[in-house]
A and B are shown apart, each in its own frame.
Chain A
Amino acid sequence: MPERYMKEVILKTPTKDVVEASIAHWHFEEGDKVEKGQDLVEINCDGAMYNLPAPATGTLIEVYFESGEVVEVGDVIAAIEE
Chain B
Amino acid sequence: MMRQRLPVWLKRSLPEVSTLNTQSILDEHRLSTICESAKCPNRSECYSHNTATFLLLGDVCTRSCSFCSVPPGKPKLPEEDEPVRVAMAAKALGLKHVVVTSVNRDDLENGGAHIFAGTIREIRKLIPGATVEVLTPDFCGNWDAVLEVAHAGPDVFNHNMETVRRLYSKVRPRAIYDRSLELLARVKQADPAMITKSGFMVGVGETDEEVTELLADLRKVNCDIVTVGQYLQPLDRKMDIVDFVAPGRFVEIELESKSMGFREAYCGPFVRSSYHAGEVYERSHS
Contact = CB atoms under 8 A, between A and B. Distances in A.
A50 B23 CA distance: 21
B17 to A, nearest CB: 11
Contact of B232 (A22, A24, A48): A48
B47 A15 contact: yes
A46 B15 contact: no
Contacts of B6: 24, 44, 47-49
Contact of A16 (B5, B23, B232): B23
A56 to B, nearest CB: 17
B44 A15 contact: yes
Sorting the interface of chain A by its residue count into under 10, 10 to 19, 20 to 34 or 35 or more gives: 20 to 34
Interface in B2-47: 2-6, 8, 10-15, 19-20, 23, 36, 39-41, 43-44, 47
A49 B1 contact: no
B247 to A, nearest CB: 14
Contact of B11 (A16, A22, A50): A50
A44 B232 CA distance: 11
B36 A47 contact: no
Interface in B32-77: 36, 39-41, 43-44, 47
Nearest to A25: B5
Contacts of A22: 1-3
Given A14-B44, A16-B20, A70-B1, A47 B39 contact: yes
A74 B11 CA distance: 21
Contacts of A68: 3
A20 interface: yes
B270 A48 contact: yes
A17 to B, nearest CB: 5
B131 interface: no
A46 B11 contact: no
Contact of B10 (A21, A25, A47): A47
Contacts of A51: 11, 13-14
Nearest to B69: A46
12 contacts: A14-B43, A15-B15, A24-B5, A24-B6, A44-B1, A44-B5, A44-B6, A46-B39, A47-B10, A48-B232, A49-B8, A70-B3
Given A12-B14, A44-B3, 19 more contacts: A14-B12, A14-B19, A14-B43, A15-B23, A15-B36, A15-B47, A17-B36, A21-B1, A24-B4, A44-B1, A46-B40, A47-B2, A47-B41, A48-B10, A49-B6, A50-B12, A50-B14, A67-B5, A70-B1
Interface of A: 12, 14-17, 20-22, 24-25, 42, 44-52, 67-68, 70
